[in-house]
A and B are shown apart, each in its own frame.
Chain A
Amino acid sequence: MRSGEKQITLLIIFLSVALIYIARLFYLQVIDTSYVYFAQNNVLQEQTIYPARGLIYDRNGELLVYNDAIYDLSVIPEQVKNLDTLAFCNVLNLTKEEFIATFARLRRQKGYSPWRPIVFQRQITIPTYAAFQEKLYDFQGFFVEVRTDRKYKHSNAAHVMGYIGEVSEKQIENSNGYYRMGDFVGQSGVERTYEKVLGGVKGTRYVLVDSKSRTQGRYKNGEFDTAALAGKNIHLTINLKLQQLGEALMKNKIGSIVAIEPSTGEVLSLVSSPTYDPNLLVGRERGNMYMQLLKDPYKPLFNRPISAPYPPGSIFKVIMSLMGQQEGVLTPATSYGCHGGYLFVGCHPHGSPLQLRGAIAVSCNAYFCQVYRSVVNNPKYKHVEDAYQKFYDHAYSFGMGHQLGIDLFGEGPGVLKKSTYFDKIYGRYRWQALTTISMGIGQGELGITPLQMANATAAIANKGYFITPHIVKKIDNKSNPNPSFNKKNWTSVDTGYFQVVIDGMQDVVEHGTAYIARIPNITVCGKTGTAQNPHGKDHSVFFAFAPKENPKIAIAVFVENAGFGATWAAPIASLMIEEYLTGKHETRKYLLDRMLNADLIKRNDSTSAKAK
């Protein structure tokens, strides 16, 4: 090879390398566009702007829930320099060991980067925040981030409002990527059902970050940013004053109160007792408090009024009276004698025989067993199953045995068995009214939630229809946010049959079992119930509406294992009605005090001890 050729050989090598590199560059820069995307991924960071959550008011505009600033202490570990650990621990009230342990925990966290801000301590108290702010200069690398959390102005209606908590993985999955780990959403109550309304819409801000995730500026001057949309405010149908009284009355008692405005289906009060202070479920102790409430044997987190099925007891007799008439097996003049009971169903002493109105007033067991028998063993139908189906349909039309569709999370269906259920137990055609006779007086295979009971009361007050109970009155100050809550749901009982029953309920209060529930100048119609149950003493039950003409409030009260309906449930309901209609308890101070002060939980304890 001559020297000239060697020179050319070298030149060819140079040129081939250049060409290979140019080809490679052409591939990287022109053909393969994925690198542009990777580069954007590198520098573009999507930051979420959290909207303010909507506020919640009661029906009269009284503020219930608002947002409170909370302070998170964050740290960029890389920037921590010359930290006076002792002073730092003093301000935060930490021991040195805790300090070290916290840092170790942070380091183990997924996605830890010493250049990225990370929360060192969540929700420091305001005094700590103040003390910290003073010495901020000494603690390089640490800073305080302000977020908002829910704050409850009153400690009432915890079960209605619910609480917010971090999203679960399932919720993240179902949200199509809207929710991110660590977001807070409503987990129960109105916070949950109206999450979309209250939660608003998150905004996004695109920022440029460097390789250590430090913000370097806005991406294209915020051209692609979206603003956060604040959540809308909600007005509940709840009347705060009524709710407060209800909770006070139910203090130291287990049970529920549901009050509904019959003409609109608006829930005026929804008391679940024992209740809890909703402020326990916010802030840094949220988790601990939640576990504590969960462990409480009286289950304060359990939303009794909408999910607990109780045997209705005697108040079901009212429903029986209505369906008997509709089925044509009962007239107001029908009279049955009471011989201290019916078969194995006992009865208390009262005048006999009685017509329908009187039977309601004294709550005669025998009478309603007869009514039940005549409905279910109705000769009009070939089989008992067909007649029972009528019973089922009527009860169903009053809202029993299924969810009413209230705008709260966790509503229970109650218990109302189909005929096939009894077929399974006794065999087809092998059972009849007497087999299930206790259902005639609201016992046996019946379970009804306080909400369903209040709703049925509203239906009676409306003489034949109810409006689905609901809890939200206004969204963003606009009334009637959900038009489906305007519809009248007609029961299967004609309007004409209601009058005698209502008269009977009036008698109950005027001179019947619930004399104690009488309110001066107001005609209250009600019915007591004393529901036998497998858990101990009878449940004290009462439902009522008032005033008789133009009813303004329908109410159902359940006090668990408290005894006669007339002893506890009736006075409580009566006081509630009085509160709502007059706002005063001048003539019945003694009754109010007695109800407020009664401690049935402890008393129950003593009776159960005696039983042992």
Chain B
Amino acid sequence: MNRVEREAAVRRLLEQTPPQVPAELYADVVRRGGRMLRRRTLARRAMWLLLFAAVVAFTVWALTVRPWVEPPSQTTPPVSDW
């Protein structure tokens, strides 16, 4: 037997006795798939919420602390020309 014939023989072997699809499969698929979708939506919402909270927290911190303003000098400059 050459390659093509052997492949055809194996194909025939694979095609025999197809199994019956169980009736409850579709309902099960939709239930699981729906749950997966809901979970993804929830996770996405939680992520956006977290991002929003982080932005708000950073803005409030930046406005109260003002890290870009030079801190007032701690030492007095030497007095000359008295």
A and B are interacting partners: no
List residues of chain B with CB under 8 Å of any chain A CB. Answer: none
List residues of chain A with CB under 8 Å of any chain B CB. Answer: none
